[in-house]
Amino acid sequence: MSPVVRLRGARRAPAAAPKPDTREILAWEDDPMSGAEPVKRPAPAPVPANLALTILAKAPPLASHRPGTEAFRYWTGIEALSRGIALWAPHLAGRGWAATKRLRVHLDRGQDLNAYYDRASLSFFHDVAGGRTIYSGESPDVVTHELGHAILDALRPELWDVMSTEAAAFHESFGDLSALLCGLELPSLRSAVLRETEGHLFRSSRLSRLAESLGWAIRQRRPDLVAPDALRNAANAFFYRPPSALPPSGPDAQLTSEPHSFSRVFTGGAFEAMGLMLAGAARRPGEKHLLAVARDFAALLVRAVQHAAIVPTYFSEVAAQMIEADRLLLRGRHGAALRTAFVRRGLLSLESATARPRTVRRRTPQRAAAREAGIRGHEIAAATVPLPLIRLAGASLGLGRRVIGVRTAGSAPGLAARAAALSTGDARSARPDDAAHAFVEYLVRRGRVDFGSHAESARAAVHPRTRKTHRVTQQAGRLTLVRRCFDCGLDPA
């Protein structure tokens, strides 16, 4: 019923509902280099108060601007953000950004082949490659990928500082899945992808090829670093291997422990699962079937993230939690599709995929803290409680005799989920302390740590030209390694 406004005893007619903004803009439905044409889109809707944004650019008139203009780039970036928030907001249940009330958005922060999320902002850049200027904020793929980092940080802020290859790689995978799912909110893109793939979603297509323009630009400088036709392709054939068994870097065709590279294992398995879910939805699926599958997948992914324990084998934990979420939320509608895809990728061993799910509980400092806070039962795995802080010797890191504190993926395991070995049975899982040490060493090897004034200049490998995703800071009188940002530039310099 419409509200009645009273003023000094007088009765007024019910207040009229605000009229929707019927103005339109032109925006990319997909990456500018995907072969897409600009499409008409409604004016971007206001975002919820809990996910407030501050756009650090003057808004041009809301109209259908010509591609290639600054005004077009502004509105196509805002449209992608608005569409992405509309997708994820219902799953956040009013939860806001992890570390700020208003997330700042820099649509063009300067010259770089990069984009990043740093808890305070989403930042996009431009640079010239091959005689062409590429704007990372013009690509819906890049915009919704970086937004995905912010969404995941809102869901599980503990993942931010944990020193774990799989946790870092899952952040990248969630960003790529965010780009896929946000794209599938567009009817025109769903129809185009179904035509291109003949209804077989798990094929290389405009959808699976992510961030073609940024990938093209990086390829002009380092053709070995990215896929031949995109930054990454979700339609891939990578099989799980423990990160400790992989090199820290390598060409795009090789799986490495670098988080962007390693993320492709989970992304490929998830995308294959979506394809199998669609095949099970209809013999000749249409765009409405694809939308329903995409939204089911988003709901299962969010619930899995919220309930997954943060352990070194985080990929397997999330995969198992997705199957359990399907059983609880959708009565097992997609269970066969999820199990098949995750087993094919080694994300779950046969035993983990077929066994009845069971929660493994053991007493840990996190569990004790959760109980003291009144958190009980299955909610403990999803609770926001501090992860263990361990001390590593700083000598090999260039810190002399000092020690450095790092957070480990050491929460109590939620489900007894294990990845597959290359031959038979389960893959061996690293201890949380060993996984943390390996990830820290990876960061230092790749020059991703800003030591500030804490390193011994004659001993530390500081790599002055590489982008820094982590920094050494002093907390409570002790050195601690913390994350600065998630970026997607892949160090092409």
pLDDT at residue 328 in the model: 96
> Residue 369: phi, psi to the nearest 5?
-65, -40
pLDDT at residue 412 in the model: 74
How far apart are alpha carbons 286 and 462 in whole angstroms?
53
How far apart are alpha carbons 490 and 224 in whole angstroms?
11
pLDDT at residue 384 in the model: 56
What's the sign of the alpha-carbon dihedral 225, 482, 305, 164? positive
pLDDT at residue 457 in the model: 60
pLDDT at residue 287 in the model: 96
DSSP letters along 380-400, please?
HHHS--PPPEEEEESGGGT-T
pLDDT at residue 490 in the model: 65
**166, 315 Cβ separation under 8 angstroms:** yes
Q: Which structure tokens are listed for 263?
A: 């993320």
Residue 61 CB-density burial (10 A; 0-12 exposed, 13-18 middle, 19+ buried): exposed
How far apart are alpha carbons 211 and 134 in whole angstroms?
11
What one-letter code names the amino acid at 24?
E
pLDDT at residue 459 in the model: 64
Q: What is the pLDDT of residues 308-342, one digit of tens each?
A: 999 999 999 999 999 999 999 999 999 999 999 99
pLDDT at residue 356 in the model: 74
**199, 285 Cβ separation under 8 angstroms:** yes
Q: Which structure tokens are listed for 195?
A: 């035509």
How far apart are alpha carbons 289 and 195 in whole angstroms?
14
Domains of the chain, each with CATH number or no CATH: 156-354 (1.10.390.10)
How far apart are alpha carbons 80 and 86 in whole angstroms?
10
DSSP letter (8 states) at residue 243: G
**Residues of the chain where predicted confidence (pLDDT) is lower than 50:** 1-13, 362-383, 492-493
Q: What is the pLDDT of residues 44-96, one digit of tens each?
A: 999 999 999 999 999 999 999 999 999 999 999 999 999 999 999 999 999 99
Closest CA to 385 of 407, 368, 370: 370
Length of the chain: 493
